[in-house]
Amino acid sequence: MSQETNKRSSRIFHVLAPLAGVVLFSYLIYKAGARELWEGVVHFGFGIVLFLALEGVGDVMRAIATRYCFSPDSPKVPLVSLLYMRCTGAAYNFITPTSGFGGEVVKVMLLEKHVSRSEAARVVIIDKFTYGIVQFGMAFLGSAVVLFWTPLDLGLKLTFWAASAAMWGGFIGFLVVQRQGWFSGFLGRAVGVVAGRQAREWVETNLAELDGRLRSHYEKQGKDLILAMFWHALACMMGIVQAGLFLWFVFGVNDWTKASAIWFFGSWFDCIIFMVPAGLGTQELTRALIFERAIGFTFSEGVAFSMILRINQIFWTAVGLGTYALEMALSRRRLGSALVKTESDAAL
């Protein structure tokens, strides 16, 4: 398959995937009933403010986790900068069809203001990996326990185990690539297939130092890895609290088992279908099925919960893009001030 064919296929996917998501999203709104959904959102009331605040608390915890992904001799990056980096990266992952990776490039660019490019890339890769394995690990274990006690079709259970095995294989393979120092070569080949030989050579040349940094982190900073995963796990717990908050405010149900099931199954689906841009349509469908088949609520109530998740995503996406725009404006002002000062010194 030629490089031009690969590029064309990628462009087609980036157009069709969001379009299919919009169609599915529209159908689910129609099936659930727009009025019922709106009533569910309105019924949540002040709870939505707490819902958004809990997401912010989770982001702070994730920023703390990122601190443990730096090398010991790296300059200390302020927590507020790491929080801003996370919000901005998440915003770009949400609005661009890059399967959750476009925002990681933005994170590297923002971190380059504090550390070298190879160090920034190392931090983002390890942070992405630790968060991913914690999120999927918790979702997998929780879902497996719930499935054991839930009378679902055998076919659904077999699908769960098969998809989970494939995901674990991906995580283990990615870990081996990092530990053995093969990452730049692996990434270079992947980029080369899409962008050509020159792009591959650029990746392998500019990220050669990254392999040693990744290998060193896994060999010498085991404690930091555990602490990063610990903080990511705490952040994931905020998702369970959010689900419990929704059940309490909307239905008056104080059932943390059901709230946990919502997060376990929802996060498991999110990890499996991470290629879908913004989870458009699929997020609504999976939550509706979880509410209807796993915890005894209705399809419409599951879609209503997904609407709250959408509001949450849109709000924090706006925050991320707003802070990024502010940072760019401040950077241009600082650059302009530096140029004026340089010209003044030259005149003297």
pLDDT one-digit tens code per residue, 63-79: 999 999 998 888 888 89
Q: Say if 118 falls within a structural domain.
A: yes
Give SS3 for 182.
coil
Q: How far apart are CA 320 and CA 333, in angstroms?
A: 20
- Secondary element (H or E) of residue 318: helix 299-347
Overall average pLDDT of the 26-48 stretch: 67
DSSP code for 303: H
Q: Say if 207 falls within a structural domain.
A: yes
Q: Which residue has the tokens 């169609």?
A: 23
Q: Say if 348 falls within a structural domain.
A: no
Position 238 confidence tier, pLDDT thresholds 50, 70, 90: very high
**Distance from the Cα of residue 243 to its chain's centroid:** 18
Overall average pLDDT of the 246-274 stretch: 89
> What's the total number of domains in the chain?
1
Q: How far apart are CA 169 and CA 164, in angstroms?
A: 9
Closest C-alpha to 294, from 73, 143, 185: 143
Instruction: Answer whether residue 13 shows pLDDT above 50.
Output: no
Q: How far apart are CA 84 and CA 307, in angstroms?
A: 25
Closest C-alpha to 296, from 261, 323, 334: 261
Instruction: Answer whether residue 14 shows pLDDT above 50.
Output: no
Instruction: Answer whether residue 17 shows pLDDT above 50.
Output: no
Position 15 confidence tier, pLDDT thresholds 50, 70, 90: very low
Q: Say if 319 falls within a structural domain.
A: yes
First to last CA, the chain: 62
Instruction: Please name the residues in contact with 133: beta carbons below 8 A apart, sequence gap of 6 or more.
Output: 171, 229
Most confident range (mean pLDDT) of 56-65, 90-99, 167-176 is 56-65
DSSP code for 74: S
Q: Say if 16 falls within a structural domain.
A: yes
Domain around 63: 3-343
Q: Say if 61 falls within a structural domain.
A: yes
Least confident of 34-48, 92-106, 330-344: 330-344
